[in-house]
Structure 1
Amino acid sequence: MEILVCVLVIIIGILSYEYIVLRNEMLELSSYIDKALDGNLEITEFDEKELSKIKSKLIKFLYATQVKESKLNAEKNKTKDLIADISHQTKTPITNLSLYINLLEKEPKEDYIEIIKYELDKLKFLIDNLVKSSRLESNIIVLQKNSANLKDLVNKVLGEFNSILTEKNVKVSLTSEDCIFELDERWLKEAIHNLVDNAIKYSSNHSTINISIYKSYLNYNLDIENECKDLSEEALPKIFERFYRGKNSISKDGIGLGLFISREIIEKHGGNIKASLNKEKIKFSVDFPL
């Protein structure tokens, strides 16, 4: 009889232990699910001796679902911001077009026609750049790379600005060496064009833009330095944001997309771009890994 009682006690003890283990696992699983519902789930390494395979798979499924939902929300926010930006940026030229078309109907004037043409060109430029920026940001664009020389690309871009450089009497001091690597000539040319355009725009007459193309130990490098007054260190992190226009850009043409597009293109090439200030000069430093 005593033996039977001992056996029953042992069985009850084992069952109680198994029940406590199972209860703790269920409580832990319930806690993970609650965290997942709250958006606070973190992936964890599981010991198969402590947690069943079903639990492990469920947790991983919940984590994957949370990551997917987070990405979807991020894309929704990007789309929402883009729509708001488009609405804001197109409002002024469309309003101006409507105004001068009404004036033209009442009193035909050559000046009104010229203003309408200007606003139409401005609107087209805005839309073209919005399309470029959205395509780049959404990873729709696939780079078509081939072996090319960064030096040749920069020289082609500078050739496009000969007339405006002469008009402003701005000189370009260029030091360069061959930097041949895999790149998309069309898109990288666009990025460099925007950087040079920005440099000329903010350079005063009779000033000099310094451009250096060189190979360092780890990278192919492109530096563009120009005058830039009234820009603070605090503003530097913002200048690559879409539609950012600093205090020093009030009197300058532009919509605040050039640097944003340049950054997107450069990063898609695996490169990096940063800006630094030295007194009243700004330098854009671009590097591409060897």
Structure 2
Amino acid sequence: MNKVFINNEVKRSTLILTSLLTIFIMIQGLLYVAYTNNQKQDYIDIVGSMVSKAITLNPELEKELIPLITKDISPKDKEAGRIIAKEYGITSKLNNSLFPNFKNNNKIFTVSIVFSLLLLILNYIQYKYFFLKVRNMTLAANKILDDDYSTLVNEDKEGDFSKLALAFSNIRSIIKNNVSTTQKEKQYLVELLQNMSHQIKTKIATMILYNDILLNRKLTEEQRLKFLESNSIQLNKMNLMVQNILKLARLDANAIEFYKKEDNLNKTIEETIHSLEEFAHDANVNLSICYGEQINLLHDKFWIQEAFSNIIKNCIEHTPKNKNVKVYLYDNPAYSRVTIEDSGEGIAQEDIANIFKRFYKSKNLTKKDSVGIGLAISKSIIESHNGYIDVKSISGQGSSFFITFMKY
């Protein structure tokens, strides 16, 4: 029972009903007291007038009649009295108007009817109030089934209906988000398949052509090796592309479990740069790190290195020979930041908003065999580590990538 009365609606309804019933009982009690007093007075008046008449006719009867008024009437006297009254037509079938106190009974009856009607009206209002809420919730639920999330169920008072409205709103938000996510996933799959189809189709067409030449034409050993090497390059590119696509798909689907631990981010980036030194040397680009504060960050070392490797590679690929790619580390109480600067051709302003989109390629891209997945992978990994990535660039003056990890 205590659980029931936790509900404020039940408390309020019970309080109103109890108050009305209390008032009803009090009025009934007052009417009953008034009715009893009137009955006593009528009894005294009637009996007194009869005794007065009898004493007037025979004064000697006064001492005998007065004691009889205050004593109980015996059954024998009652029966004798009924017989005498009946002879004069005085029976229970007499008109009620001859008995003044019976008129007061109508007041009690009227009050009872009024309060009964009040209780029925109150009950109707409460049921209407409750069922209106239920209907509104049913309407909102039906609209959700019709993919309409515009109807809100709000409650500004405490109680079970408020909890139900809150739970309904949470479910509505979850369904809406799930539907939106599902639609985005469908769109993503469509785009992914289209881009994969385009990327793979081009490379397969090239390999088929090379293979046809190898099978149907007489070639020197040097020419044959050249075509085989070209096919090998295409296969390696396809393999790398498929691995990156699968990696990005797993990241977007939250299917990767990151093993994060508090570790030195400086060391993580040093190892990444060390692994790219040969790549930078082949491109004749100077790759260096500018040490700042020591940064300790909760991160998955393998995946963070993957993210920074993709960004630094991108910078190296777009930096002319004998130019520089520099990495800076900065730390403060609010966030940790890694800045990667190159001295390349820069990024056009219309491309900056799109470079982190999967399979996006700039119209002015000099590296024609780029797939356009690396930066998208980096962005997804960084965001999974409570960070975000931004870029600033001026055409012809290089680009700067800012990777910021928030501490709160």
**Residue of structure 1 in register with 2:300 after alignment:** 184
Query: Tell me, what secondary structure is at the counterpart of 2:274?
Result: helix
Question: In the alignment, is the contact (CA less than 8 A) between 1:228 and 1:282 conserved in 2?
Answer: yes
Distance 1:204 1:104, change over 3 A: same
Question: In the alignment, is the contact (CA less than 8 A) between 1:43 and 1:60 conserved in 2?
Answer: no
**Residue of structure 2 in register with 1:39 after alignment:** 148
**Residue of structure 2 in register with 1:282 after alignment:** 399
Can you list the C-alpha shifts for 1:98-140, whole angstroms capped at 9, x where unaligned? 2221221111442321221111111111111111111211112
- Give, in whole Å, the separation in 2 of the partners of 1:74 and 1:88: 21
1:16 Cα deviation after fit: 5.5
- Give, in whole Å, the separation in 1 of the partners of 2:155 and 2:334: 37
- Give, in whole Å, the separation in 1 of the partners of 2:175 and 2:296: 43
Question: In the alignment, is the contact (CA less than 8 A) between 2:264 and 2:296 conserved in 1?
Answer: yes
Q: Which moved more, 1:131-140 or 1:166-175?
A: 166-175
**Residue of structure 1 in register with 2:248 after alignment:** 133
**Residue of structure 2 in register with 1:268 after alignment:** 384
Count of aligned positions: 290
Structure with bigger RCO (C-alpha 8 Å, 6+ apart): 1
Q: Which moved more, 1:81-90 or 1:200-209?
A: 81-90
Query: Tell me, what secondary structure is at the counterpart of 1:206?
Result: coil
1:28 maps onto 2:145 in alignment: no
1:189 Cα deviation after fit: 1.2
1:116 maps onto 2:210 in alignment: no
1:79 Cα deviation after fit: 3.1
- Give, in whole Å, the separation in 2 of the partners of 1:52 and 1:173: 60
Q: 2:204 aligns with which of 77, 94, 98?
A: 94
1:222 Cα deviation after fit: 1.1
Query: Tell me, what secondary structure is at the counterpart of 2:360?
Result: coil
Question: In the alignment, is the contact (CA less than 8 A) between 1:46 and 1:56 conserved in 2?
Answer: no
Q: Which moved more, 1:66-75 or 1:142-151?
A: 66-75
1:192 Cα deviation after fit: 1.2
Query: Tell me, what secondary structure is at the counterpart of 2:353?
Result: helix
Question: In the alignment, is the contact (CA less than 8 A) between 1:129 and 1:257 conserved in 2?
Answer: yes
Structure 1 unpaired stretches of 5+? none
Can you list the C-alpha shifts for 1:178-225, whole angstroms capped at 9, x where unaligned? 323332221111111111111111111222222212222322221111
What TM-score, normalized by structure 2, do the two folds share? Answer: 0.62
Could you tell me which amino acid in structure 1 is paired with residue 214 of structure 2? L
Q: 2:316 aligns with which of 200, 203, 222?
A: 200
- Give, in whole Å, the separation in 2 of the partners of 1:198 and 1:55: 51
CA RMSD of aligned residues (A): 3.0
Q: Which moved more, 1:195-204 or 1:24-33?
A: 24-33
The share of aligned pairs that are identical, in percent, is: 24
What TM-score, normalized by structure 1, do the two folds share? Answer: 0.84
How do 1:6-85 and structure 2 match up within 5 A? 6=114, 10=118, 13-14=121-122, 17-18=125-126, 20-21=128-129, 24-25=132-133, 27-37=135-145, 38-40=147-149, 41-42=151-152, 44-45=154-155, 47=157, 51=161, 61=171, 64-85=174-195
- Give, in whole Å, the separation in 2 of the partners of 1:179 and 1:52: 47
Distance 1:80 1:6, change over 3 A: same
**Residue of structure 1 in register with 2:23 after alignment:** none
**Residue of structure 2 in register with 1:160 after alignment:** 275
Structure 2 unpaired stretches of 5+? 1-105
Higher relative strand content: 1
- Give, in whole Å, the separation in 2 of the partners of 1:209 and 1:251: 18
Could you tell me which amino acid in structure 2 is paired with residue 282 of structure 1? S
Distance 1:44 1:98, change over 3 A: farther
Distance 1:223 1:13, change over 3 A: same
**Residue of structure 2 in register with 1:258 after alignment:** 374
Distance 1:219 1:57, change over 3 A: closer
Distance 1:39 1:197, change over 3 A: same
- Give, in whole Å, the separation in 2 of the partners of 1:44 and 1:228: 56
Can you list the C-alpha shifts for 1:234-256, whole angstroms capped at 9, x where unaligned? 32121111111112324344211
Q: Which moved more, 1:270-279 or 1:67-76?
A: 67-76
1:211 maps onto 2:211 in alignment: no
- Give, in whole Å, the separation in 2 of the partners of 1:87 and 1:77: 15
Higher relative helix content: 2
Distance 1:142 1:29, change over 3 A: closer
Q: Which moved more, 1:68-77 or 1:138-147?
A: 68-77
1:30 Cα deviation after fit: 4.3
* Structure number with larger C-alpha Rg: 2
